[in-house]
Amino acid sequence: MLKTLGAQIREFKKDSLLTPVFMILEVFMETIIPLMMASIIDQGVEAGNIHHIYVMGAWMVVAACFSLFCGVMGGKYGARASAGFARNLRKAMYENIQSFSFSNIDKFSTAGLVTRLTTDVTNLQNAYQMLLRMCVRAPISLICAMCMAFFISPRLASIYLVAVIILGIILAIITVRAHHYFMEVFPKYDDLNASVQENVSAIRVVKAYVREDYEKNKFRKASQNIYNMFVKAESILAFNNPVMQITVYSCILAISWVGAKMIVGGTLTTGELMSLLTYCMNIMMSLMMLSMVFVMLAMSVASAERICEVLNEKSDITNPENADKTVPDGSITFDHVTFRYSRTSAKPVLSDIDLSIKSGETIGIIGGTGSSKSSLVNLISRLYDVSEGRVLVGGKDVRSYDLDTLRNEVSVVLQNNVLFSGTIYENLRWGDEHATDEECRHACELACADEFIERFPDGYNTYIEQGGTNVSGGQKQRLCIARALLKKPKILILDDSTSAVDTATDAKIRRAFLTEIPNTTKLIIAQRISSVQDADRIIVLDNGELNGFGTHEELLQTNAIYRDVYESQTGGGGDFDEGGAA
């Protein structure tokens, strides 16, 4: 874990080294000042030597100014180092997340990743700054003050030693007990973020079902859980202050009592007693700072582990050595493919899929809910890797291709259409960032999106809200199809992406595909038979197995599932699941 986190310090190593150096110099100056003060009292005030008072006073001002300078510089470099460390952590995590395959993403919740990028990184940033400053300042100050106290009077310094041991044991107990609660807080943050994310993204559904009170209660409960944990932890930490004060004041009373007797006996001067009292405060405050450092580090350990989980997660789909940079054509072959989302799964999602698709063919894919239609097409662009067998594109195993090359030649319009905040032009150019306005308009004509875009006052410069909330489901689907077409792919996959489009528009889109992109292999997942019956061939999936593969006419004659669905839809408007169950 330390190696993983340490690698993110990078260009801030200099700042990380200078911070403790300035902290040590600041402590050294603070340790000298009480000795100067003792000298002023003993050799200046009591001896009546005004010159000595002026000289030592001047040196005290110099030491104080230098101490202030070192403190300011330590704060400056510490802030730069910790902020830079946090920046590098966020950047490294975000870049690593972008490299994840779908199977890697499945291991983390969205809310959990957001918490790691925000709350956990902030905790680690604060802990790193305390590590560079307080973790250096507190122990050095404690050691220096203790050494100077023993130098002045070993008898009185022994009082400090006893107090330090007792206080250290008490603070250790407090820290350990508080750490237990802090470790439980951060998973609660995931629940809180998940509550907010679901509520905001599904606000229309919440309002449609009048569930505002339910969502408020869910958020209140998640927030209350965090509150309860922090109250328990802080209630334990609250003992720090009274324990510290009791110890400090006890030490002051003991030193004053014993010190006064020693002054009367002539074995201690007044100035030395004042220095010892100053060192008493230094020692006790150093212990207080150390206790807070331990608490912060205890909190940050949980955050560090969660961050390292993301940083150490490596994509299980990577580019091979000497990867192919060219996809010859859009032909697709499934060579006895079996697929599981998890290696420990007993039953595969896809079982022994064996079929071959020619380049330029239009292939329909039909199957009931849960028949693994989307899983099948996800293997083509290598969003997942097969468990057994091979998937070939252009006659080559997809695992031999450069990932960017393969995915640039396979356009996928997903079942859940996603648009980003920005203009229509900006959304379309996700398909090709260099596409001209004319190419964007032509792609929209093929997807039958031009007809509603031109009705907008700002046309193609119309601003799309986040998630595409200001366009209808059918409009969103057509924009996503146009975006995919701009890639000019060799393979186009439509994953139930015309479900919100009326049948007439659906037919127009399919006719445009036939005439405008004849050399592109088109895979159309649909629930409606009418959406795929004109395809060159149709795949029928049933519970992850290939149940049929042929033309519309062939399947009507040979495939019972396909025939039942066709008859139910043409006779009574039923859907695939109803037909499949009939």
**d(Cα 328, Cα 320) in Å, to the nearest integer?**
18
**d(Cα 192, Cα 209) in Å, to the nearest integer?**
22
What are all long-range contacts of 556-563, with beta carbons under 8 Å and residues at least 24 apart? 562/366, 562/529, 562/538
The answer to whether the Cα torsion of 3, 9, 10, 15 is positive or negative is: negative
- Residue 257 buriedness (CB in 10 A; 0-12 / 13-18 / 19+): exposed
**d(Cα 175, Cα 179) in Å, to the nearest integer?**
6
**d(Cα 365, Cα 531) in Å, to the nearest integer?**
10
Q: Quick one: tokens of 292? A: 């807070």
Beta bridge partners of 410: 491
**d(Cα 295, Cα 177) in Å, to the nearest integer?**
10
Residue closest to 98 by CA, chosen among 77, 117, 76? 117
Q: Quick one: tokens of 159? A: 């009082």
Percentages helix, strand, coil for the chain (3-state, rounded to 5) are 65, 10, 25
**d(Cα 81, Cα 487) in Å, to the nearest integer?**
43
The whole-number pLDDT of residue 580 equals 44
- Residue 360 buriedness (CB in 10 A; 0-12 / 13-18 / 19+): middle
At residue 314, the 3 state secondary structure works out as: coil
The whole-number pLDDT of residue 296 equals 74
Q: Quick one: tokens of 252? A: 């002051």
At residue 22, the 3 state secondary structure works out as: helix
**d(Cα 414, Cα 429) in Å, to the nearest integer?**
17
pLDDT tens string, the chain, 582 residues long: the values are 788 888 888 889 999 999 999 988 988 888 888 888 878 887 888 777 888 888 888 998 999 999 899 989 999 999 999 999 999 999 999 998 888 877 778 788 777 888 888 888 998 998 888 888 888 888 888 888 888 888 888 888 888 788 878 877 887 787 777 777 777 776 777 778 777 877 777 787 888 888 888 888 888 888 888 888 888 877 887 787 788 778 878 888 888 888 888 888 878 788 888 888 887 777 777 777 777 777 777 678 778 888 898 898 888 788 888 888 898 999 999 999 999 887 777 789 999 999 999 999 999 999 888 888 888 998 998 888 898 999 999 999 999 999 888 988 888 887 677 888 889 999 899 888 888 889 899 889 888 888 889 888 888 899 988 777 788 888 888 888 888 888 888 999 988 777 767 778 878 887 888 777 888 899 998 888 888 888 899 999 988 899 899 999 999 999 888 988 888 887 654 555 544 433
DSSP state of 501: S
Q: Which pTM value belongs to this model?
A: 0.70
Residue-range domains of the chain with CATH: 2-312 (1.20.1560.10), 332-581 (3.40.50.300)
Q: 521: Cβ–Cβ under 8 A, 6 or more apart, which residues?
A: 330, 331, 332, 357, 358, 359, 360, 361, 362, 363, 490, 491, 492
The whole-number pLDDT of residue 72 equals 92
Amino acid at 316: D
For residue 113, give Cα distances in angstroms to 109, 212, 309: 6, 26, 10
Alpha carbon 143 to its chain centroid, in Å, reads: 40
The whole-number pLDDT of residue 577 equals 54
Across 250-398, the runs of DSSP E, i.e. the strands, are 332-339, 350-357, 362-367, 388-393, 396-397
**d(Cα 283, Cα 144) in Å, to the nearest integer?**
9
Q: Torsion angle of alpha carbons 458, 459, 465, 470, nearest 10°?
A: 100
The whole-number pLDDT of residue 571 equals 66
**d(Cα 251, Cα 257) in Å, to the nearest integer?**
10
